[in-house]
Structure 1
Amino acid sequence: MIIIENCAIATVDTAGTEYASGHVVVDGNRIVAVGAGPAPVPAGEGARRVRHVDGTGCLATPGLVNTHHHLYQWITRGLATDATLFEWLTELYPVWARIDAADVHAAARAGLGWLALSGCTTSTDHHYVFPDGAGDVLAAEIEAARSIGLRFHPTRGSMDRGRSDGGLPPDEVVEDIDTILAATEAAIDTYHDPSPEAMLRIGIAPCSPFSVSDRLLAEARQLATRRGVMLHTHLAETTDEEEFCQATHGCTPVEYLDSLGWLGEDVWLAHCVHLSDGAVKRLGATGTGVAHCPSSNARLGAGLAPAADLLEAGVPVGLGVDGAASQESGLLAEELRQALYVARLRGGPTALRARQALAMGTIGGARCIGRQAELGSLEAGKLADIALWRLDGLGHADITDPVAALVLGPPAPLELLTVNGGVVVSGGELRTASHTELAASARAAHRGLMARDPEHPEHTHQGRTS
């Protein structure tokens, strides 16, 4: 049993309940009590196995949910830093074509460890590059998540439309449809846990409209419906994608997915930057979720996603850091502030409030991945995924409102992070892995990957190491 006391609490429940000083009680992997003032005194056997956490100077929130990532990209950061999305992909596809399972394991452990230190308790991942001879890269990232201790929703991604078929990726990084579908179903058979307490669930994620065929999208939809798993893809990220869809399919990206049965409560889409008013309403009407990735969209100059409009239309909106190669910071907590900034750049100072940003990072993300009944708010009966943020240091102590301090202030250190009732971070330190070892392994994987192509620009750009 864990009892957290004397902290401010933002429950992010439907009523927006908050406590200036309160308690959260965890028994096993479930929250059993949340309220004002001191916690009830445990009796009997429970009293002998209590871990007391003094939360004075802290804010307790639900753990953050990362709704879009590409963990393998952690070891390819800092490349094509001044490129558009299509330019960036063109430079990086050949690099990613050389990854193997060991690379992915090192990258995923580093990325997930970093996410944990930024308050993330659940992360998705969209892995869509499966080079020949690379080994089982999906298994590699699943094992990485187990070692770090985060709740994990990886998606078996795919690309079947290479340049020779009018797509963007080079032919050497695409797969044929039969291979994709067989591997996807095998991943569901092997790993997917549909239980309410699941630490691991599998989704299906063809990459994007410019890298997959109509047939793959249609058959992925059929497989997801048959197996009862979620669907995910990139959509409407750039004007280049809009132009591609108009030229290739004669419609917008949202209309294209809609024509293939790809809108619904079992679907969440990454980015959705360039949407018409009609598209926003259609996503709301169908309950289709959106993973808002403000820092990545800014880094690539893709645009300002209409997150406030999506929320107004009833769309489930979560936050994502996106792949570390297009968003080198990788701190999920920072996306709370970036989401607020983007909304206000579009719509002014009242377009999005701090508490709405926190809700996107917690219950909004849980809605995107179909876990709102178990995750995303601090309520009795929900799974014990909790972040306790220290707000009494120099960077936050004089900010009156603790939620505003978390969202608008500098990154807050974590006093405690629990996932499924287990401690992953305490006292600002990752407890499930060595921070130093994660960094060393990721650096070694990066060097090994880049060394496989001595002609790559990293070896000639001033200030970079190989």
Structure 2
Amino acid sequence: MNPTAISNQRLWLRSPLAILSDNADGGIVIEGTTIVEKVPSGATPSTPVDSVFDASNHVVIPGLINTHHHFFQTFTRAHPLALNKPLFPWLEALYKVWKNFTPEAFQLATRLAYVELLLSGCTTAADHHYIFPRGMEDSVDAQVDEALSLGVRAVVTRGSMSVRQGDLTPQDLSQEEDVILADCERVLGRYHDRREGAMIQIGLSPCSPFNATKDLMRATASLADKYDCRLHTHLGETLDELAFCLANFNQRPVDYLEDVGWMSSRTWIAHGIHFNDDEVNRLGRAGVGVCHCPGSNMVLASGRCRTCELEAAGSPIGLGVDGSASNDSSNLMEAVRHALMLNRLTYGAEQVTHLDALRWATEGSAACLGRSDIGQIAVGKQADLALFKLDELRFAGSHDPLAALVLCGAHRADRVMVAGRWVAEDGQVKNVDTERLQATCADLAKRLFANA
């Protein structure tokens, strides 16, 4: 779906029950892909509109933005080999399973993840795909095709693993560095759109310090400069990673990041847990973004991200559901609630509000991706919106509509708009048979991965 092909008809989203925007109680006006007017309470649009949508039963928020995921993992959720394990043993168990991936399985896993994310109110999804077993060399192309088909805005990061440290980075999931870099250039040249309102962008994302060489990290940074794209990797996720970096590089992870030329505002990292005060300040000064993954961090018992200190130091803070096999969910609204609860446990009830958690999932995530055109309901921003109803039992007796979304645990958006188009209506993604998708994915996952 090309946003340039959308007509310039004007739609008034009228009188929402609540809206995450100042001075827009009367709604917003959308023209083409863009928000062009915020309507105050009791007012009408300044110029005529072509159509009106009555939002009086909806809570309207900016579309949520997911900044870290591994779509392929949707097919290995709650896998018995990986249950109740921390990160390194978890990886060792699942690498043996993931080698069975096929192009068909990956295509379906990607579709499943996008659909789940859309239904949770997510309008922009960044995926970190780093496994390339034989036959899956065109994985980035598959993800782009699925995103365009569904109408979701996507940042597809071309991940990689090049170092083979025994069983932790198996050879049949890794690639040679010249192959990795050549494909990075191919997909950047073919898909990366730097324009405002871009539907598809490409990032570069060697997996982590323990399965990418410094040469690959430095070459990737050079490509990012050449093509003006973002850089992404796992960093500071576990104490095992810290021990690995000290043993193999005689550096802590942040020193490693600086050494390979990644300490810049072009970079956003996943997890960002195990940093000392000096490292928090260094990351903030450099403008390195941090994707907070509360669900995964709790499932794997990795630790707590120092969100408030990092944000105060200057790092954008975004949210991610992380891989479905370390969170077992692709629900970004659920991650907003997890972020609120976990960070209140860390900082206190007065220090982190539902509005902070929603801000991380919208404005903060947009900043991590280097996007100034999404993440807010404001004039000139892209019309990416999630509309929720409060007509479920979980909301009965609630009072503040925006707080209810987070505190009462909203799970499914009623409507989702991306670039001025409705891509989900009445709790269903358009042109997707979710029952058939669920059945097909469940069957294929069992055939390929249940006994791996």
TM beyond 0.5 = yes
C-alpha displacement at 1:208, in angstroms?
A: 0.3
Aligned partner of 2:116 among 111, 114, 117 = 114
Query: What is the distance in 1 between the residues matched to 2:325 and 2:392?
Result: 31
Matched, 1:176 2:156: no
1:183-216 CA deviation, whole Å, 9 max, x = no partner?
1100101111111121000000000001111111
Aligned partner of 1:5 among 4, 14, 25 = 14
Q: Residue 135 of structure 2 aligns with which residue?
A: 133
Q: Residue 222 of structure 1 aligns with which residue?
A: 222
8 A contact 1:147–1:432 mirrored in 2: no
C-alpha displacement at 1:168, in angstroms?
A: 2.7
Query: What is the distance in 2 between the residues matched to 1:391 and 1:256?
Result: 47
Q: Residue 399 of structure 2 aligns with which residue?
A: 400
The normalised TM-score by structure 1 is 0.91
Q: Residue 382 of structure 2 aligns with which residue?
A: 383
SS at 1:375's partner residue?
coil
C-alpha displacement at 1:445, in angstroms?
A: 2.8
Count of aligned residue pairs for this structure pair: 441
Query: What is the distance in 1 between the residues matched to 2:210 and 2:411?
Result: 39
CA RMSD of the aligned region, Å?
Answer: 1.7
CA shift in 2, pair 1:262/1:60, >3 Å? same
Percent same amino acid at aligned positions? 38
Query: What is the distance in 2 between the residues matched to 1:367 and 1:28?
Result: 24
C-alpha displacement at 1:37, in angstroms?
A: 2.3
Query: What is the distance in 2 between the residues matched to 1:5 and 1:329?
Result: 33
8 A contact 1:8–1:22 mirrored in 2: no
8 A contact 1:9–1:22 mirrored in 2: no
SS at 2:73's partner residue?
helix
C-alpha displacement at 1:117, in angstroms?
A: 0.5
8 A contact 1:69–1:322 mirrored in 2: yes
Matched, 1:36 2:40: yes
CA shift in 2, pair 1:243/1:37, >3 Å? same
Query: What is the distance in 1 between the residues matched to 2:133 and 2:210?
Result: 19
C-alpha displacement at 1:363, in angstroms?
A: 0.6
Aligned pairs (5 A) from 1:204-353: 204-353=204-353
In structure 1, stretches of 5+ residues that fail to align are 457-466
C-alpha displacement at 1:39, in angstroms?
A: 5.9
1:219-268 CA deviation, whole Å, 9 max, x = no partner?
11111111111000001111110111111111211111011111111110
C-alpha displacement at 1:134, in angstroms?
A: 3.0
Q: Residue 24 of structure 1 aligns with which residue?
A: 28
8 A contact 1:305–1:342 mirrored in 2: no
8 A contact 2:203–2:231 mirrored in 1: yes
C-alpha displacement at 1:351, in angstroms?
A: 2.7
The normalised TM-score by structure 2 is 0.94
8 A contact 1:9–1:18 mirrored in 2: no
8 A contact 2:382–2:419 mirrored in 1: yes
Q: Residue 200 of structure 1 aligns with which residue?
A: 200
Query: What is the distance in 1 between the residues matched to 2:73 and 2:360?
Result: 24
Q: Residue 4 of structure 2 aligns with which residue?
A: none
Query: What is the distance in 2 between the residues matched to 1:428 and 1:42?
Result: 32
Point out the more displaced range, 427-436 or 282-291: 427-436
Q: Residue 154 of structure 1 aligns with which residue?
A: 156
Query: What is the distance in 1 between the residues matched to 2:421 and 2:210?
Result: 41
